């Protein structure tokens, strides 16, 4: 994958549902931390090739998104760039998706910001929201400590949602 600057707004890294690809553990693993991707692959019993993801709007998404994401296909069929622009927003599929995992907690806020300010402004806000306040590294919703410098919490997202993240991680163990 070409190593473009992920700090520059890139719609291919902004999912139609409102997820921010640079803060995804799979994306981080694909781009920067192969060992992380290998651990995720073992946990999900998937080969590395099926785990790789270059962003939600690219030709290379991980197996889970490739086989389970109904939102991108729906948005394409309806001619909308983000779910928040759909007349049926929020639909039952998006509500169910949002409720399943902590990294999806802020989908409604994301859709609102995208509608109000545009995806470029939202994208810049997400860079800040998921960046370590000490070193600037973009962390995932599940990185309780910064993956580069160890600062706790790793980012504003984790600071806001740490209890729900910990509850989810405890269930997974």
50's tokens: 């099926």
Per-residue pLDDT tens over the stretch 79-134? 999 999 999 999 999 999 999 999 999 999 999 999 999 999 999 999 999 999 99
Q: Please give the C-alpha separations between residue 168 and each of 10, 90, 163, in angstroms, as whole numbers.
A: 30, 24, 9
pLDDT digits (tens, 9 = 90+) for 17-74: 999 999 999 999 999 999 999 999 999 999 999 999 999 999 999 999 999 999 999 9
- List the domain boundaries for the chain: 18-69, 101-173
**Distance between CA 156 and CA 32 in Å, rounded?**
21
Contact 104, 96 (CB under 8 A): no
According to DSSP, the residues that pair with 131 across neighbouring strands are: 138
Q: Are 145 and 154 in contact (CB under 8 A)?
A: yes
Could you tell me the pTM of the whole model? 0.94
């Amino acid at each position: 994958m070409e190593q473009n600057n992920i700090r520059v707004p890139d719609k291919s890294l902004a999912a139609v549902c409102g997820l921010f690809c640079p803060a995804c553990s799979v994306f981080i693993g694909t781009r920067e931390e192969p060992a992380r991707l290998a651990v995720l692959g073992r946990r999900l019993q998937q080969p590395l090739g099926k785990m790789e993801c270059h962003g939600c709007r690219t030709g290379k998404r991980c197996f889970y998104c490739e086989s389970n994401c109904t939102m991108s296909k729906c948005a394409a069929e309806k001619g909308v760039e983000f779910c928040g622009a759909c007349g049926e927003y929020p639909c039952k599929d998006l509500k169910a998706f949002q409720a399943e995992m902590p990294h999806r907690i802020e989908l409604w806020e994301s859709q609102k910001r995208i509608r109000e300010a545009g995806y470029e402004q939202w994208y810049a806000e997400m860079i800040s929201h998921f960046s370590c306040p000490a070193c600037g590294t973009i962390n995932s919703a599940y990185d309780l400590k910064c993956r580069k410098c160890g600062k706790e919490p790793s980012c504003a997202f984790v600071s806001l949602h740490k209890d729900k993240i910990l509850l989810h991680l405890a269930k997974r163990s």
